[in-house]
Amino acid sequence: MLWFLYNLLFPVAFLLMLPKFISRMARRGGYRRHFEQRLGFYGHGTTAHLTEARRIWIHAVSVGEINIALRFIDAYRNRTPNARFVLSTTTSTAHAIGKTRLAAHDVLIYFPVDMPWVMKRALDIINPLKLILVECEFWPNLVRQAHRRGIPVSLINGRISDSSFKGYMKLRPLTRKLLEMIDPVCVQGRRDAERIIAMGARPEAVHTLSTAKYDLAPPAGDSAGVAQAVLRQVGVPEGAKILLGGSTWPGEEEALCKIYKNLKAEFPDLFLVLVPRHAERRGEVVSVIKGQGLSFVLRSADAAPPECPDILMVDTTGELMSFYAASDLVFVGKSLFEHGGQNPIEPALFGKPIIVGPNMENFPSVMEDFLFADAIRQVADLQGVEKALCELLSDRNARDRLGAAAQQVVESRRGVIEQMVQKIG
């Protein structure tokens, strides 16, 4: 009865969300590409690639998850060199990252909609050896059909947010049946373990390993050099203090522009770099910058501006880490007005002083680690961001201490992905 109700209601929910999907396709050019894959249709070339060998299927919904999946693939392949993978994702930004980093003998697809006939078609074609879900992706038809086919289902880097836990507990009869089919269940923290067991996971299947995000490595080569070359090209002088807004969401670009204007009078060598969470928002962000009366240049622009602008807006994909490496101060987005927060570990890899807003619910165990080590500045509001930036810009030693503490937190917690590989086997 539970499966019947889910399969009755899910198509209705999908149809209600269809206008949102269409809006995304109109707003983000990349979202419409390969839309047929979301219905389990892969085309002759991709289908032939998928069926040439049995693979391990890893699903990673967006950018943070796909970076973990790619690191997991590397670690797994170190132990099992002949392993082959199919990697699925939901967002166009994550798909673009996967396309540049996935090995040629692996396959990248968009995640199919969780309807019975769609999942049956996808599983018939992929026929995976194992199914690995990253973080919090409990899709009933996928898990149930894989389990019925004898395909082992695992969860890595699991986390259960406050809002997700409340929702899952309301559906506990369904989540219990699903979670009983998943083993191992590798979660980030003690609270995640307690919650997922309360939702129905078997206690003996649950393993608390910390977050795999600590194992994310900086890009190979001179990461800072790439971004610094771009900054020199647009006229930013050497020695300028670079304030980076990383993975910003609506409202945060305007807030940083206002703060930048206020701080510029006291710190004339300050330069602002904005890297929106979705590059497809370039038009919206450009309108915000113009509305603040600031000059700017797009990263995608072919020609250098005649003089140094106020802002560089990075409207390309996959360069955030390079700009983190070249920055002096970092504000991590989706933390000021939106809820959830983006990954603070990425700038910490480079020893950068980090400021976040009050809404970091997606990283509770990470924030606990960073706050305990006095390795991050978390502020309550827009005024708090400006005050923290002013203090750090005025004190080089404070910036160095904060950045070094952040880097030490990351270095002391590595090795999680290897533990996950061992658990899955």
Residues 6+ apart with CB under 8 A from 82: none
Domains of the chain: 2-216+415-424 (3.40.50.11720), 223-411 (3.40.50.2000)
Opening angle at CA 153, ends 97 and 216, nearest 5: 35
| H helices, E strands: number in the chain | 18, 14
**Residue 305 and residue 235 in contact, taking contact as beta carbons nearer than 8 Å:** yes
Q: What is the DSSP string of 407-418?
A: HHHHHTT--HHH
User: What does the alpha-carbon distance between residue 421 and residue 189 come to, in Å, rounded to a whole number?
Assistant: 18
Mean pLDDT by 10 residues, the chain (425 residues): 67 66 58 76 90 95 90 95 95 88 94 92 96 92 96 96 88 91 94 95 95 78 87 94 97 98 96 94 96 96 88 93 96 94 94 97 90 98 98 98 97 94 93
- pLDDT, residue 16, reads 66
Two tokens at 198? 């309360």
- pLDDT, residue 425, reads 85
User: What does the alpha-carbon distance between residue 171 and residue 148 come to, in Å, rounded to a whole number?
Assistant: 21
Report which residue type is found at 368: E
**Residue 88 and residue 60 in contact, taking contact as beta carbons nearer than 8 Å:** yes
What pTM did the predictor assign? 0.76
- Kindly report the backbone phi and psi dihedral angles of residue 11, in degrees, each rounded to the nearest multiple of 5, phi listed first: -60, -35
- pLDDT, residue 36, reads 85
DSSP assigned state of 219: P
- pLDDT, residue 19, reads 67
CA 93 to chain centre: 10
374: region left, alpha or beta (phi > 0 left; psi from -120 to 50 alpha) = left
Alpha-helix runs per DSSP H in 115-222? 116-126, 140-148, 162-170, 172-179, 190-198
- pLDDT, residue 422, reads 95
